[in-house]
Amino acid sequence: LWTDTVQEVLPNRFQGYLSASSNPEPASIETAPDTAFSSCESHKYTTEIVSLDPLVIYINNFTTHQEADELIAAGESDFQPSYISTNTGLQRVQGRTSSSAPLSPSLPLVQCILTRARTFMGSTLSPTERFSTPQLVRYERGQKYDLHTDHWPSHQVDDQGRLFNRVASFFVFLRGECEEGETYFPEVEPWSTSNSESDPDARLEKTFKGKVLRGEYKGEKKGVKFKPITGNAVFWVNIDAKGEGDGRLIHAGLPVGGGEKVGMNIWPRKFYGWEDGSEPRVKKEEVRWV
Ligand SMILES: O=C(O)CCC(=O)C(=O)O
Ligand SMILES: [Fe+2]
């Protein structure tokens, strides 16, 4: 039962339980309340496309308010000043003043949310392509995350020699009780502003009812920003079909004016071949997930 072949065909939420490194004693398996999985499977989200190219999708009710609170509670004791992940390791930078907490993917609720994200990704992820450890980010008054992209400028190499990158991002607003603090994409024009509308801002307001707004950069109207609303999420694609990073997805967490904003980063990873050409460094059956 504990072979990789079995793992590949199992739903994502069970894969962790069966990994070769985990204890296969059934008694040691942490079980989730039935409600966690049933609410997970029968998700209630709806979607609206903000931009087709690059692809940016607004997701209403990606989590329930209860799930959002439970996710925050799960990471509560692990918040640390935020770092960024670079080619040379983790770094503290002035441009990111929030605090962050990792969320263990083995927690049933976290697995549930990752399963939801995997289902959303449809056929774009293979069963062996996994998610980075999800991350909570918390901002208090004045805290922000300056313009950045979520993908690495060059693909990362896993311990098997495989190249990987963050193909897409979900940013989920888990607590939106704040002023300002929008997630801002200066290079993404919402579709309605490119239509021949006499007042694209009014049209945007009408379409998204205040959830999605025109942004402003150096005094000029530019791009799009998303208001933190508990349970809602923004999804976008970072890496194009050729495996190259799309700089148009540059974005920022604007400074929070007051109150508190908590978000959750979910980063699906895709593989982009092997570091040393096409040859795997290890035999295929020895490959373990990262
Ligand atoms: O806080 C936000 O609105 C965006 C956060 C973000 O982009 C990130 O953590 O990578
Ligand atoms: Fe980001």
- State the CATH number of the domain containing residue 230: 2.60.120.620
Q: In this model, does residue 21 exceed pLDDT 50?
A: no
DSSP code of residue 41? H
| 205 in any annotated domain | yes
Q: Which SS3 state, helix, strand or coil, does residue 25 take?
A: coil
Cβ neighbours of residue 176 under 8 Å, at least 6 residues apart?
Answer: 227, 228, 229, 230, 232, 261
| 15 in any annotated domain | no
Long-range CB contacts for residues 8-14, cutoff 8 Å, separation at least 24: 8/127, 8/128, 9/127, 11/115, 12/111, 12/114, 12/115, 12/118, 12/127, 13/37, 13/40, 13/108, 13/111, 13/112, 13/114, 13/115
Can you tell me the ipTM of this complex? 0.99
Domain that holds residue 93: 36-278
Which ligand ends up closest to the CA of 100?
1
**pLDDT class for 84, splitting at 50, 70, 90?**
confident
| 16 in any annotated domain | no
Cβ neighbours of residue 126 under 8 Å, at least 6 residues apart?
Answer: none
- Write down the residue that tokens 């693909």 correspond to: 155
Distance 277 CA to ligand 1 centre (A): 33
Q: In this model, does residue 12 exceed pLDDT 50?
A: no
**pLDDT class for 281, splitting at 50, 70, 90?**
low
Q: In this model, does residue 5 exceed pLDDT 50?
A: no
**pLDDT class for 197, splitting at 50, 70, 90?**
low
pLDDT score, position 149:
97
**pLDDT class for 76, splitting at 50, 70, 90?**
very high
| 221 in any annotated domain | yes
Q: Which SS3 state, helix, strand or coil, does residue 285 take?
A: helix
- The H or E element containing residue 74 is helix 65-75
pLDDT score, position 38:
58
Distance 240 CA to ligand 1 centre (A): 20
pLDDT score, position 85:
79
Cβ neighbours of residue 64 under 8 Å, at least 6 residues apart?
Answer: 39, 44, 231
| 22 in any annotated domain | no
Q: In this structure, which residue's CA is closest to atom 1 in ligand 1? A: 253
Is the distance from CB of 106 to CB of 98 less than 8 angstroms? no
What is the average pLDDT across 15-20? Answer: 36
| 58 in any annotated domain | yes
| 9 in any annotated domain | no
The residue that leads in pLDDT, 178 or 286, is 178
Q: In this structure, which residue's CA is closest to atom 2 in ligand 1? A: 253
β-sheet bridge partners, residue 169: 236
Output the pTM of the full model. Answer: 0.83
Q: In this model, does residue 41 exceed pLDDT 70?
A: no
Percent of all residues in the chain with a pLDDT value above 70, rounded to a whole number: 79
From residue 106, alpha-carbon distances to 14, 113, 114 in Å are 9, 11, 10
Average pLDDT, the chain: 84
pLDDT score, position 1:
37
pLDDT score, position 24:
35
pLDDT score, position 88:
76
Q: How many domains does the chain have?
A: 1
Distance 161 CA to ligand 2 centre (A): 26
Cβ of 145 below 6 Å from ligand 1: yes
pLDDT score, position 229:
98
Q: In this structure, which residue's CA is closest to atom 8 in ligand 1? A: 265
pLDDT score, position 162:
94
Is the distance from CB of 162 to CB of 274 less than 8 angstroms? yes
**pLDDT class for 239, splitting at 50, 70, 90?**
very high
Q: What whole-number distance in Å separates Cα of residue 209 and Cα of residue 212?
A: 7
What is the average pLDDT across 195-200? Answer: 68
pLDDT score, position 94:
83
What is the average pLDDT across 104-132? Answer: 95
| 7 in any annotated domain | no
Percent of all residues in the chain with a pLDDT value above 90, rounded to a whole number: 68
pLDDT tens for each residue of 126-168: 999 999 999 999 999 999 999 999 999 999 999 989 999 999 9
